[in-house]
Structures are given as C-alpha cells and as structure tokens.
Amino acid sequence: MNDEKSNKLGRGLSSLLSGKIINKDKDNSFVDKISSEVSIGITKIIPNKKQPRKEFDKIELESLSSSIKEKGVIQPILVRKSFGGENYEIVAGERRWRAAQLAGLHSVPVIIKKLTDQEVMEIALVENIQRENLNPVEEAQGYKYLCDQHGYKQEQLSKIIGKSRSHIANMLRLLELPERILKNLIDKKISIGHARPLIGVENAEELLNKIIKNNLNVRQTEKLVSEKKGKIVGFKTQGQDPNIRELEEELSEKIGLKTSISFSKNSTSGSITLYYSNLDQLDDVMKRLKK
C-alpha cells in the first residue's frame, strides 16, 4: 500500500474514481475507459458479504426510496464484476441499491472497477465512515478485518481513514466487550461514551443493567465504574485509564502540545493541563484561543 493510494482514499470516493469510469467494449464486456456510467439490471447486482455496514435504518431507506421514485438514483453505485459469475458485487452504495429496489426500479446507474478484496474493503469503510453510516461496532469490525486479513498497522489505517491512531485503537478495544453490551451499543440503548468505561471491567453486564435501569449519563457511568474498580477513573490513579489516555492523545494531536487530563477525587470535575517547551508554542496556543 503506497502513500498515493492512501491519500486518494483519505480524500473520499469521488477522488478515487476521478477520470476512471467504465463503458462497454466491442464484445459487450466492461473495461476501464474514460466515459460515463452505465446502467445494468438491478437483479444482476449483489451485496458484498464483507461490507462493514450491516444495519440499515428502515425509515431512512423508505425516505431515500421516495426520493429515488421522484428523481432517480443521482449518484451511481460502485461495483465490481463478481468472481466466476455474471453478477456485479457492490463496493459502495448498498443503501442506494436497497432503496432502488423499494422504489421498484429495474435498472440502476453503476460505475464498474477492477478491484481487489483489500481495495473493496478500504473503499467501503472509507465511504461509510465519511458519511457517518456505521455504528461504532461496525466501524471497529471494519478496522479489525483490515488488520487481521490484510496486515494493516493502526498507523496505516489512520492515514487511509483520516482518523487518529488513538481513535482507531480505542475503537478496536470496544470489541473486547461482551456481545450483549455490543448489541445494546448497536441498538443505541447506550452510547459509545457508556461503553468505553466498561472495557475490561469485571461483571460489566451487571453494570450495564444499572446504567440502563437508572438511565445514567456518561459521567454517572464513569463514576459507577470507578467505584466498581475501587479507584477514581482519571490521571495518576493506579495506572492511567486508557480512555483518558486516548482523550489526551487526541487533544495533543489537535493542538500540537502535550496534555494531561485529571479528575478531582470523588467528583466528575477536573482539569486539563497543557505543556509548552518554548514561548513560541505558548504564543501559538494563545492566538488559537483568541479566535
């Protein structure tokens, strides 16, 4: 994987496709040429089984379907020829394909590209993350697939996806949670802020019951977990909490200075400390704060 490819994916799907669209050649097959998209039968299109997005909101699909009935499919679906068959596998645009089916369309506009399994997963993950189409578990599973199946390092994924390395590491850690907690996260019964403190905690599902029953917010959840552990979640306490460390790393990347976050004992209040090594760094921070 080279830097040019990473940069293209990081800029989004439209950048990847610029100038590379498909048309029919003389023997009626599809080849890479600069042309407009083509239209193929909707029954010849199949979803990608390894697509990171598994959940599709029914109301959103019906809304998109109504729009397609009125205006058609405005953005073509990206597909590749399925191996050993006459069908075309979706790379990006499964939601549009599903909505087009609901709308009763017989054919849809597509762009066909020759792509490897690795490229398909990269594109699908980038498109869904950029459009905020994935729930946290789907996003984490997408990262894990690229790491496990294609040998990506977190730093490489960071460049491709456009997310910080610490964000990717923290998302992957979600998969350490019990299935029941992940299911509640998918179903939006809890937020990612509720789920993070439960990672690595004994009897996490028991705490989940209390969180849902008492409708606890994120700070209340952190306090509950902290009490369960018998220590305060925060800075300089029996080994720093990984969630706080992740926040520190993200903040440091944003402002360019080392930072630390700490909580006051028996409280949800705390402080953020910024460390500068010269007056130029201090002056730069002050300018940003004054904007």
Tell me what pLDDT residue 146 has.
83
Answer whether 186's CB lies under 8 Å from 174's CB.
no
Domain ranges of the chain: 3-135, 243-291
Query: What's residue 205's pLDDT?
Result: 93
d(CA 147, CA 168): 11
How far apart are the C-alpha atoms of 82 and 89, rounded to whole Å?
5
Assign domain 3-135 to a CATH class: alpha beta
**Model-level pTM?**
0.56
- Going residue by residue through the chain (291 aa), what tens digit of pLDDT does each one get? 445 444 444 444 444 444 333 333 333 333 343 335 788 999 999 988 877 777 777 888 898 899 999 889 988 999 988 877 788 998 888 889 999 999 999 999 999 988 888 888 888 777 777 666 788 998 898 888 888 887 888 888 888 778 888 888 888 999 999 999 999 999 999 999 999 889 888 889 999 999 999 999 988 998 888 887 764 334 344 455 666 777 777 777 666 677 888 776 555 677 888 777 667 677 777 776 776
Phi, psi of 191 (to 5 degrees): -100, 170
At 114, list the tokens.
């020759």
**Which pLDDT score is estimated for 279?**
75
Burial of 192 (0-12, 13-18, 19+ CB in 10 A): middle
For position 5, what pLDDT does the model report?
45
The pLDDT of residue 266 is 58
Take residue 57 and report the two structure tokens written for it.
């909101």
The predicted pLDDT at position 202 comes to: 82
Which of 242, 244, 208 minimizes the C-alpha distance to 225? 208
29 vs 285: CA distance, rounded Å: 58
Residue 260 has a pLDDT of: 80
* Catalytic-role residue among 89, 94, 122, 246: 94
Residue 273's pLDDT is: 85
Using CA atoms, how far residue 160 sits from 8, 120, 178, in Å, is 8, 13, 29
Strands 258-263 and 38-41: unpaired
Long-range pairs, 275-281, Cβ under 8 A, ≥24: 281/256, 281/257
pLDDT at res. 10: 42
| Residue 176 annotated in active site | no
What tokens does 31 get?
Answer: 């080849």
CA distance 55 to 187: 10
Tokens coding 212 = 């849902």
**Long-range CB contacts for residues 33-38, cutoff 8 Å, separation at least 24:** 37/76, 37/109, 37/110, 37/111, 38/109, 38/110, 38/112
Label the pairing between strands 258-263 and 45-46. unpaired
Single out the residue of 41, 45, 34, 35 nearest to residue 78, CA to CA.
Answer: 45
